[in-house]
Amino acid sequence: MKMVGVEARWNSGDSVKRARSLVQTVKLLGSRSRPEISWVSKVTGTTVERAERAVDEITMYSESIEELSRNIESTGRSYYAQFPAPLDLFALVRLSRPQNLVESGVASGVSSTFLLLGIKANSAGILHSIDFPVFRKGSRGNQPWAIPQGMYSGWAVPTKLRERWDLRQGRSEDLLGPLLGEIGTLDLYCHDSPVDVKHFEFEMESIRKYLRPGSLVVADNTDKKVFDEAARSVGAEAFYRRHSSLGAFRCPEGTGTERNSTRAVVRHAISKGP
Ligand SMILES: C[S@@+](CC[C@H](N)C(=O)[O-])C[C@H]1O[C@@H](n2cnc3c(N)ncnc32)[C@H](O)[C@@H]1O
């Protein structure tokens, strides 16, 4: 089979150089960004070898990652890897090749950058991002995701990646429903807008009827009970990364037909208590 694009370039490369480059990337993003291949493999239902290759491909985009890093460091922030698994996120996009991606929670744009890199590598897809930005007020006491005054959501995303990006500023409570109505189906959803359980429940309920077989749902800062029930309501299993609250599930065959309502299942779960 003839290999094209990223795959061809990958095969012509030097594996030692690639391994070094991956180590450098993790250094740049912080140690918690070390990829968890087995998680990527479980979530996508692919082999560990394929998952590993997909993660490793990120090394072909070190220029963009360095640009993201330079942008954030230029404002004096030392901590910028907000989404804990950016390399895994890139691999999820590579392996599932989504057309419609929706993200809730952008901040400076770390997760957006890696979703857009996956789109670039696939030469397919569009990322719709929603963010209600919080701004830095002074040098202390800010939320870790607060963006510098005068900037905007996703300001640090490298310019060259923005072609396939539809960024909307506002609360997901107001924007998510209309956006989903516009795009019709959802292939990958990434939740990273931590507010409270009700907000998370709202997002899980909003996306449910737009999911189809093979859609991926990724969420950080999850309420595990709500997330597990959301997965179960479409017949999926949620997998969590390194015992963290970052989870993901893949929708099985039959998703999209009217079955159980997440709202009903989730409310039941909450009413049962811990
Ligand atoms: C943890 S940060 C996102 C980090 C980002 N994914 C990254 O990788 O850097 C959460 C973001 O959600 C935003 N946010 C908070 N409440 C929101 C809401 N109701 N709707 C949309 N975004 C919200 C915050 O202002 C912040 O920008």
Record: fold of 5-136+143-272: Rossmann fold (3.40.50)
Can you give the pLDDT at residue 73?
Answer: 87
Q: Which two tokens stand for residue 176?
A: 């998510």
pTM comes to 0.89
Q: Which of 85, 162, 155 is nearest to 128 (CA)?
A: 162
Q: Are strands 247-250 and 239-240 parallel, antiparallel or unpaired?
A: antiparallel
DSSP string for residues in 69-94 = HHHHHTTT-S----SS-HHHHHHHHH
Can you give the pLDDT at residue 203?
Answer: 97
Can you give the pLDDT at residue 257?
Answer: 64
Q: Which of 170, 150, 142, 161 is nearest to 67 (CA)?
A: 161
Q: What single DSSP character describes residue 112?
A: H
Distance CA 269, CA 266 (A): 5
Q: Is the CB of 111 under 6 A from ligand 1?
A: yes
C-alpha 247 to ligand 1 mean position (Å): 17
User: What tens-digit pLDDT sequence spans the chain (274 residues)?
Assistant: 444 444 444 455 567 778 888 998 898 888 888 999 999 999 999 999 999 999 999 999 999 999 999 998 888 775 655 789 999 999 999 999 999 999 999 999 999 999 999 999 999 999 999 999 988 887 777 887 888 888 999 999 999 999 999 999 999 999 999 999 999 999 999 999 888 999 999 999 999 999 999 999 999 988 999 999 999 999 999 999 987 889 999 999 999 865 444 444 443 333 333 3
C-alpha 195 to ligand 1 mean position (Å): 8
Q: Is the CB of 105 under 6 A from ligand 1?
A: yes
Distance CA 120, CA 111 (A): 14
Q: Are strands 247-250 and 186-191 parallel, antiparallel or unpaired?
A: unpaired
Can you give the pLDDT at residue 221?
Answer: 85
192, 198, 222: residue to mutate for ligand 1 pocket, most atoms within 8 A of CB: 192
Distance CA 203, CA 176 (A): 8
Distance CA 31, CA 86 (A): 11
C-alpha 134 to ligand 1 mean position (Å): 8
Q: Is the CB of 134 under 6 A from ligand 1?
A: yes
Domain ranges of the chain: 5-136+143-272
